[in-house]
């Protein structure tokens, strides 16, 4: 039991020693941390205190010896530096001493807050010192800076002045004003040299700014004034006179140009040019060139409008001539069809759509004719420009084309009916002619027998021809049925013609084969028997079988029999 108490007691003592050591180390680290912070703040404070303001102020004192105004400004800078050094830095020193006290008392909680306040105060003092130093440095470097600026301005001035002298004749009445303004700039350079000798840098700044503004302005004047003067005195007056002359000539030639407001625009442009002249006299060129170029562009655009009117007139005249011819033909065509509509309806079986299309075409054509007359009245009274008239005639042409296209589709349907009727009548003649040829052909060769097949096909062909004749005599004619009847009749007659032709051909070839094979009968019994069968087929009207039998038996001794018979038939 005693040993256990000893172990517990030893453990507690060791733990207390560890805690004490750890607390000591933590306090030591905190103290070192805050002292390091204070040391950095002291370095920053010394950097601010070492700002070379005094050195720059000593330069200012040398420059401002004979200038009371600048001497007063130098004194104000001196007072501001004294305030920074003796008052504001002293406050920082007191705050740093207070920080040491807090650290000694180990009041680390307040140390962090106090350090932040010191940092802020040092920042404010540093900003004030830097601002003062920059102001003083800016002043001490003014002479070189301003002289460098003026040297560049003088170089630009000489370039501007030389350009003016080389082209003085281009400036017209404004040459004296430009020359006077350039002399003013020269006088400003003299003023600058004078104030620099007096070390009056405040006045020097104002003069440099004034010279910069004047040189920038005169550079624009010298560059742009010749072109502006040329636009005002020569280009625009010539263009406006030419526009006015073209306008009068075109009006006298029948052009309607009121929509361009030429006279009003010329008058307003002259007023604008007079206002620009007044500005130019004062060498105020702001927007002058822009406004003059816009006026010039407007009048140049009128040349395009004039040419557009001329081209439109030519195009309109051609389009109108073509339209007049076209509408006359269409009027005649539509009128003819519309007037004959009752007769057409009685002749052909028209659909409701066909009749509606014809009526619609007639109505559209009436409207187009009316619009065409109104357009011609506009042209005669010169109430519209040719560009507008051309648009109207172009629109009328498109409408007429569309109407004519749709009407032609209807006409095509009617024409197809008429064509189908005429074609049916022509084909009927051809069919009847073929039928006659077939009859002549069958009697042209004395056949021992005419087969029943021929007479069946002949009857069918005659019946089909009668059907065609009946359809043609109907009123109104059903074109679809008529075409079917014609096709049927044609096919049957052609079939009869081909049958007749083939029958006679087979009969001729069979007869020639029998005659040719007779030379082999006494030598070959098989050929004799075969030819006897062929003769029997021939007499019974079976000409195809007769021919095949002859060719088969004769080919035993003459392989080329078929070609020989064919050749003999053709010859």
Q: Which residue would you say has higher pLDDT here, 505 or 61?
A: 505
Q: CA 478, 483, 488 angle in degrees (round to 5)?
A: 130
pLDDT-derived band at 335 (thresholds 50, 70, 90) equals confident
Report the pLDDT averaged over residues 336-343: 58
Report the pLDDT averaged over residues 360-368: 81
> Which string of DSSP letters, residue by residue, matches 458-500?
HHHHHHHHHHHHHHHHSSSB-HHHHHHHHHHHHHHHHHHHHHH
User: What ranges do the domains of the chain cover?
Assistant: 2-140, 145-286, 312-416, 445-570
Is residue 383 pLDDT above 80, yes or no? no
* % helix, strand, coil for the chain, step of 5: 90, 0, 10
Q: For residues 211 and 227, give the distance between their C-alpha atoms in angstroms, rounded to a whole number.
A: 25
pLDDT score for 56: 59
User: Containing H/E element for 347?
Assistant: helix 341-347
pLDDT-derived band at 33 (thresholds 50, 70, 90) equals low
The predicted-structure confidence for 295-316, as pLDDT tens digits, reads as follows 889 888 888 888 888 888 888 8
pLDDT score for 334: 74
Is residue 477 pLDDT above 50, yes or no? yes
Report the pLDDT averaged over residues 483-498: 76
Q: Residue for token digits 């040092």?
A: 122
Handedness of CA 86, 87, 92, 97 (dihedral sign): positive
Q: For residues 180 and 185, give the distance between their C-alpha atoms in angstroms, rounded to a whole number.
A: 9
Is residue 24 pLDDT above 70, yes or no? no
pLDDT score for 457: 74
Q: 118 near 41, Cβ under 8 Å?
A: yes
Share of the chain above pLDDT 70, in %: 69
Q: 337 near 358, Cβ under 8 Å?
A: yes
Give φ, ψ of 40 to 5 degrees.
Answer: -65, -40
Greatest Cα pair distance, the chain, in angstroms, is 168
The predicted-structure confidence for 114-149, as pLDDT tens digits, reads as follows 777 777 777 777 777 777 667 666 665 555 666 778
Q: What mean pLDDT, rounded, does the chain reach?
A: 75
Is residue 272 pLDDT above 50, yes or no? yes
Q: Which residue would you say has higher pLDDT here, 443 or 308?
A: 308
Q: For residues 239 and 231, give the distance between their C-alpha atoms in angstroms, rounded to a whole number.
A: 10
Report the pLDDT averaged over residues 440-459: 73
Q: Residue for token digits 């140009």?
A: 257
Q: Number of C-alpha atoms within 13 angstroms, CB side, residue 244?
A: 13
Is residue 354 pLDDT above 70, yes or no? no
pLDDT-derived band at 288 (thresholds 50, 70, 90) equals confident
Q: Which residue would you say has higher pLDDT here, 298 or 444?
A: 298
Is residue 58 pLDDT above 70, yes or no? no
Q: Which residue would you say has higher pLDDT here, 388 or 457?
A: 388
Is residue 346 pLDDT above 50, yes or no? no
pLDDT-derived band at 215 (thresholds 50, 70, 90) equals confident
pLDDT score for 570: 56
Start-to-end C-alpha separation, the chain:
157
Q: 372 near 323, Cβ under 8 Å?
A: yes
User: Which of 482-491, 493-502, 543-552 has the weakest average pLDDT?
Assistant: 482-491
The predicted-structure confidence for 67-123, as pLDDT tens digits, reads as follows 555 566 666 766 776 777 767 777 777 776 766 666 666 666 666 677 777 777 777
Q: Which residue would you say has higher pLDDT here, 366 or 341?
A: 366
Report the pLDDT averaged over residues 466-473: 66
């Amino acid at each position: 039991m005693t040993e256990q108490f000893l172990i517990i007691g030893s453990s507690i003592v060791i733990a207390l020693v560890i805690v004490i050591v750890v607390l000591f180390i933590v306090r030591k680290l905190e103290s070192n941390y805050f002292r390091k912070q204070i040391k950095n703040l002291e370095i920053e404070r010394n950097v601010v205190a070492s700002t070379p303001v005094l050195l720059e102020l000593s330069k200012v004192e040398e420059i401002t010896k004979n200038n009371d105004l600048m001497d007063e400004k130098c004194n104000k800078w001196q007072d501001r530096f004294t305030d920074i050094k003796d008052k504001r830095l002293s406050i920082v020193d007191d705050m740093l001493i207070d920080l040491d006290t807090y650290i000694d008392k180990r009041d680390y909680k307040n140390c962090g807050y106090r350090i932040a306040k010191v940092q802020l105060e040092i920042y404010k003092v540093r900003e004030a010192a830097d601002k003062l130093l920059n102001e003083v440095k800016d002043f001490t470097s003014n002479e070189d800076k301003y002289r460098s600026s003026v040297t560049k301005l003088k170089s630009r001035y000489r370039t501007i002045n030389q350009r003016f002298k080389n082209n003085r004749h281009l400036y017209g009445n404004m040459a004296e004003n430009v020359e006077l303004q350039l002399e003013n700039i020269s006088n400003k350079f003299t003023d600058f040299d004078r104030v620099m000798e007096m070390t009056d840098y405040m006045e020097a700044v104002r003069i440099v700014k004034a010279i910069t503004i004047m040189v920038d302005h005169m550079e624009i004047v010298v560059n742009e004034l010749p072109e502006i003067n040329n636009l005002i005195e020569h280009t625009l007056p010539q263009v406006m006179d030419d526009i006015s002359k073209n306008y009068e000539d075109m009006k006298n030639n029948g052009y309607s140009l009121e929509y361009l407001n030429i006279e009003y625009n010329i008058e307003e442009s002259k007023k604008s040019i007079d206002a620009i002249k007044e500005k130019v006299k004062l060498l105020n060129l702001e927007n002058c060139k822009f406004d003059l170029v816009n006026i010039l562009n407007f009048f140049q655009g009128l040349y395009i409008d004039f040419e557009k009117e001329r081209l439109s007139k030519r195009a309109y005249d051609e389009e109108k001539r073509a339209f007049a011819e076209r509408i006359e033909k269409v009027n005649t065509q539509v009128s003819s069809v519309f007037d004959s509509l009752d007769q057409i309806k009685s002749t052909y079986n028209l659909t409701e759509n066909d009749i509606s299309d014809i009526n619609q075409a007639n109505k559209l054509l009436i409207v187009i004719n009316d619009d065409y007359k109104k357009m011609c009245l506009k042209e005669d009274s010169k109430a519209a420009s040719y560009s507008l008239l051309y648009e109207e005639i172009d629109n009328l042409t498109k409408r007429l084309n569309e109407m004519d296209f749709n009407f032609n589709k209807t006409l095509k349907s009617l024409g197809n009916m008429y064509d189908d009727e005429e074609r049916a009548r022509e084909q009927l003649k051809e069919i009847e002619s073929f039928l006659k040829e077939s009859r002549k052909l069958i009697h042209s060769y004395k056949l021992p027998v005419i087969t029943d097949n021929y007479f069946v096909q002949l009857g069918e062909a005659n019946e089909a021809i009668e059907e065609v004749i009946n359809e043609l005599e109907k009123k109104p004619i059903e074109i679809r049925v008529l075409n079917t009847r014609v096709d049927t009749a044609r096919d049957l007659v052609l079939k009869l013609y081909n049958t007749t032709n083939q029958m006679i051909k087979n009969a001729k070839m069979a007869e020639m084969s029998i005659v040719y094979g007779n030379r082999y009968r006494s030598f070959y019994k098989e050929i004799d028997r075969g030819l006897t069968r062929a003769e029997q087929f021939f007499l019974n009207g079976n000409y195809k079988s007769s021919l095949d039998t002859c060719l088969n038996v004769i080919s035993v001794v003459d392989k080329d029999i078929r070609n020989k018979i064919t050749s003999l038939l053709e010859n």
